[in-house]
Structure 1
Amino acid sequence: MGAVRRDPANLAEFRESFAGYTFGDAGAAVVLEAVDRGGILDVDGETRSEHWAVGGIFGGGSRHPRGDEHTYFRGDGNELRAVFEKVGTSVLDRMRHRTGLEWTDFRHVLVHQVTLPNLERFVEMSGVPEDRLVVTVPELGNIASASLGVQLDRVHANLSPGDRVLFVGLGGGMSIMTMVWEKS
């Protein structure tokens, strides 16, 4: 994987690159189609761009072409967690207020998973019941943007019409999004 620094020069570089070592590898796609009932019921998101430097790959384009030191994922897992705690659960709270749905109204809650301790902290902060989660990070690592699609694939065959699933996407720059979906 190009984002992982394979030979850090010193301990400081290793620490800065550590989050990249937690990445797994996966790909996923979700195909959407028009439905008469159900489907996507609600979408919301929030980006706190003042935290853009907390973690990410800062290369690409003409400013920092691939292949230089900006090619590798850099970040501090503790700082990423602290930013999430600061940003909090406002998007989740807005979704629940707007839709009137409680955690028990969701068959599953699919959330981007960086590490198991971060997932546990998400549960603690949000109040999402653990039995609603589809946990993949111990087996697959942080599979980044593929995580929600992989989790959906794992539960899709067991969903019945009317079952609701909450998707929670998390990203660098501190972005968080929610999508409520109901199987038709």
Structure 2
Amino acid sequence: MNVVQTEIADVLILEPTVFGDERGFFFESFNQTVFQEKTGLTVDFVQDNHSRSTKNVLRGLHYQIKQPQGKLVRVISGEVFDVAVDIRRSSPAFGKWFGQVLSAENKKQLWVPPGFAHGFLVLTDYAEFLYKTTDYYAPEHERCIRWNDPDLNIQWPINNDAPLISAKDADGVLFRDAEVFA
């Protein structure tokens, strides 16, 4: 596995070692020992999630203000533009975002640490998205920042079609009004 540092110090791209031939491919999608050795992070994943979304679906920007979740995310079918936003007031990267295309083809994974809002936009006809979390889903602590917040100015790769968002995400708050981490 290769670990690539991003512009935001705590957000990492993980590139697995893929073994392939004319029959197909194999790779370890997660190995606790290797993850710890390569990233220097000690994390305990407690929940795995799997979602499927159609083209132009935008989910996010989600986070839990209590029971914050670190997420190791990847795509097993299709392609998404995945975004992590640093919402830790004490961080030098507070209010900055990082985006990365994740796909079944590139097999990249993104480590989104606790203290970040997270979202993604589906770029292909559909995408299946898998992620491990470091804490359990707690709907009472879930928060949402608007995907198109003008202060964040995330450069989503949106064509002429408006993204498809849930009612909950449409009611997301502006970044300046959001509950954030200390």
- Is the strand fraction higher in 1 or 2? 2
Shorter-chain TM-score bucket reads: under 0.3
Question: Looking at both structures, which has the greater relative contact order when contacts are Cα pairs under 8 Å and sequence separation is at least 6?
Answer: 1
- Is the helix fraction higher in 1 or 2? 1
| TM-score normalised over the length of structure 1 | 0.26
